[in-house]
Chain A
Amino acid sequence: MRLSINRPAARFDYFSLGVAFCVAAPIAYVLFHSLQKISSVLGVYPAEMWVAAVLKTAGLMLGSAAIALATGTASAFLLHRYKWPMQKLWKFSAVIPLAVPAHLYALAALSYLDPQGYLQSFLREAGLNIYWDPKSFVLLCLTVGISLSPYCYLFMLGAMRRQDLQLEDSAKLLRPKARWLKGLWGLRLALLAPPAAASIWFVALDSFGNLGASVVLGQDTLMTLIYDTWTGLYSFESAISLSMVSLSVFGFLFFISSNKAMPQNTQRSWNKSKPKGKTAAFGFLFLGLFFLVSTALPLALFILQSFRQLTGPANLQRLISQLLYSTGLAVVVAMLCAFFGMLLVFNQHRLKTPRWLVEIGYTAYALPGLIYGVSIYLVYVAGLELFGLQQSILFSFLILLFALSAKFFAVSSKSVHSILSYQPAELMESALLLHKSWPHYFKCVFWRGTRPAWFSGSILIILEVLKEVPITMVLRPYGFQSLSTEVFDLTAEGFYGRASLPALALVCLGFLFLYLLDPESRDS
């Protein structure tokens, strides 16, 4: 493939167009179906239920975003500024929730706080006449917020690292006696506002699509209403119409969000000092509490309860098959995403694809998994009918692979795009002037420069697929169960003890992949 330096105007990127079509067409198909069936949805639910679900969804988005932002920012600030004993442990625990889906936190919370759980049982034995149902909206916000806190942590940590440290020095010298908002803290909050807004946005969009924790904690959100109709409570058409409603809200939110790359402005690196006084006390308290809630307590519970579940070969056999299925699915999806993503991003980089076309390809990632799963299912069924085919395990499996790949390829591709946006524009031109060959440029510049990002992106995709529930529930072949869906099903039915073994397996698997990410990637 020879490059012409004096090349004419760039060709149109048909590959990206094809990918965008494959990703977005099912969504358009759902929209089309929904418009035809909209009248049927009005009578399905009472108006109060609609309003309550919408309000709960909005509340979940705000509540979980607030919790995620507070915990993520506090972790980022404490770990960025100070040198703590066991620093590596605190840093790792800040990102552990990446490996733990929200419904696992819900499971742990219910196991501890349920009327038959440890806490209430203990209090009753102590003589207190206590019986309360912990399934609440607040607990839902807490579990979803904690599970999404690593995103806020990573956003804020990145922003703090990129911050020009001389700005704080300037503020200290110009207002040496000012305190709190009039002094350094006012400046810090103002500078952290943009990444905070971006991370809130990210968390809110993710919590909009939460299904697992909402079902487990018995809260009626838009996603649970769609899921209920999908599983046959009401009607197939209602699921589609509800999807359309969600899509409209979501589409509006998504397309008005911005996605600007943060400017890189690193000066001298921060000289971390040991914390003293109140900072040390509160810092330790916070880090310890977060570690307890996000890691120690759930892990201890799963380990304790799992030992009881290990008896009997059937349990172990079932666990092993789910483990293999989950890992295999996650690794295959990650490989597909890496392969196609690399070709796609290279092509977009080479042809300078318009931003709008690139973003359409990422639509599936932005959508709630349940809605995308329903969209794919519709297209799948219509396709089978069109070609006169029967449903089969193979087709179901392929469709599941496609849906998960389309949903999650953005995880690695977006981070590579971000790296490329920091590269000076002249890098590609100077490389091509020295050696006029695109394959050589791919091998020596593009692949070498983005290799770490592809690897970390693949690990993150594996983690996402391991945790994933809604798409797997909608599209899985009959009889297949991943670790995450097994936990979901058992917890939803109240079998907390039985759910602990697959939960422990899922968490351990997640920890393993999380640890494979090198420290720089975990923090970037």
Chain B
Amino acid sequence: MQQKANREPVLSVQNLCFSYDQKPVLENLNLEVFESEIFCILGSSGCGKSTLLRILAGLTKPSKGQVKFAKPDCKVGFVFQNYALFPHLTVFENIAYGLLESNKEKTKQRVDELAAQFEISELLSKYPSEVSGGQAQRISIARSLAPKPDLLLMDEPFSNLDAKQKSKLKPELLQKLRLANVPTILVTHDQEEAFDIGDRIAVMNEGKFVQVGPTYDIYHEPKCRFAAEFIGTGAFIDAAPSHDGKNIQTALGEIPMPKGCGATSNRKPVELFVRPEDLVHDDDSPDCLEASVVSRQFRGAHSIFRLRLVSGEEVYSLAPSHHLHKPGDKFKVRVELDHVLLFPKNH
């Protein structure tokens, strides 16, 4: 991915606001999307993601702010959550819908090309009611890409698929989007989906972006409490700076204070955010901390244990799933905190 500074954005949104019945839905949103980028907007249901997408598509007018496209007549493709395939048209006609009808040969060629790319050639004569969910999703994407849009918008494209279909289709879709080389904005509530597909992610809460950045930064360096809690799993434990200000004291022991940390500067109470992978299960090392198991969530190759520390606070630890500790068992962990995340305490 090229550096942002070298590229002009394909889409630029400035101070976008939208209200419905005088209730603010979107507040002062700013974003830029660049060529060949897949930009994910991640947020819980009802935070305004789909409304933002509709505004970008021109289907809804914003109350305030600007949406600027690099090209004057920017063509926008849209993949709806329920695919919105025209029920009275065949798959071929659905895909061809956005193409100029004057040249039928070229239309057929383009449809055949997309059908081969999305592996739906054998479905061209069928109707939407005769295809499966995964096939409908591919048809919908092919239809959006047929007119060669300058920007592709996708509203939770995998939400109607089961886990197996999702795991199969996500890498396929990513590959096809890269091939098509169309800048894409994908809206989802599924973090795994955002991490799998997105180059950059915007975490959205109550109509505002709380953090925008690469997937690594979003996960390992969340800028606020909401982003930390929303992304992945983790727990907050009390933390207090030491007298010399060089360390932080917690129930997990003393941890070096991160450089430039502003959370402790005003001497208000703070909390340390700990992810499961920060606490490594280790029964043998002498430096280990002892905790007791509260519960276990089996995740296939690994398990996430919820642990109670001596202080009474609860944290999570990731361990290979062959460790069969039951609730109440003693569980030793070694602290390996690569990212120290301190946030002001919520009262």
Contact = CB atoms under 8 A, between A and B. Distances in A.
Real binding pair:
yes
Contacts of A164: 82, 84
A187 B144 CA distance: 17
Interface in A159-173: 164, 166-167, 169-173
Contacts of A193: 88
Contact of B98 (A167, A175, A191, A267): A175
B332 to A, nearest CB: 47
Given A174-B98, A174-B143, A169 B59 contact: yes
Contact of B57 (A167, A173, A190, A267): A173
Contacts of B144: 174
B143 A167 contact: no
Contact of B84 (A166, A175, A176, A182): A166
Interface string B138-172: 00000110010000000000000000000000000
Contact of A174 (B59, B87, B147): B147
B86 A187 contact: yes
Contacts of B81: 166
Interface in A118-177: 164, 166-167, 169-176
Interface of B: 54, 57-59, 75-78, 80-82, 84, 86-88, 97-98, 101, 143-144, 147
Contacts, number: 45
Tell me the interface secondary structure of chain B in the complex. Answer: loop
Interface of A: 164, 166-167, 169-176, 182, 187, 190-191, 193, 267
Given A167-B84, A170-B84, A267-B82, A175 B97 contact: yes
B97 A174 contact: yes
Contacts of B82: 164, 166, 267
19 contacts: A164-B82, A164-B84, A166-B84, A167-B84, A169-B57, A169-B80, A170-B78, A172-B59, A173-B76, A173-B77, A173-B78, A174-B143, A175-B97, A175-B98, A187-B86, A190-B86, A190-B88, A191-B88, A193-B88
B145 to A, nearest CB: 11
A171 B97 contact: yes
Contacts of A169: 54, 57, 59, 78, 80, 84
A390 to B, nearest CB: 61
A173 B154 CA distance: 13
A166 B97 contact: no
Contacts of A175: 97-98
B80 A166 contact: yes
Given A173-B98, A175-B98, A190-B88, 10 more contacts: A169-B80, A172-B59, A173-B57, A173-B58, A173-B59, A174-B98, A175-B97, A187-B86, A193-B88, A267-B82
A284 to B, nearest CB: 25
A454 to B, nearest CB: 33
Nearest to B78: A173
Contacts of B76: 173
Which 3 A/B pairs are nearest by Cβ-Cβ distance?
A174-B98, A166-B84, A170-B84
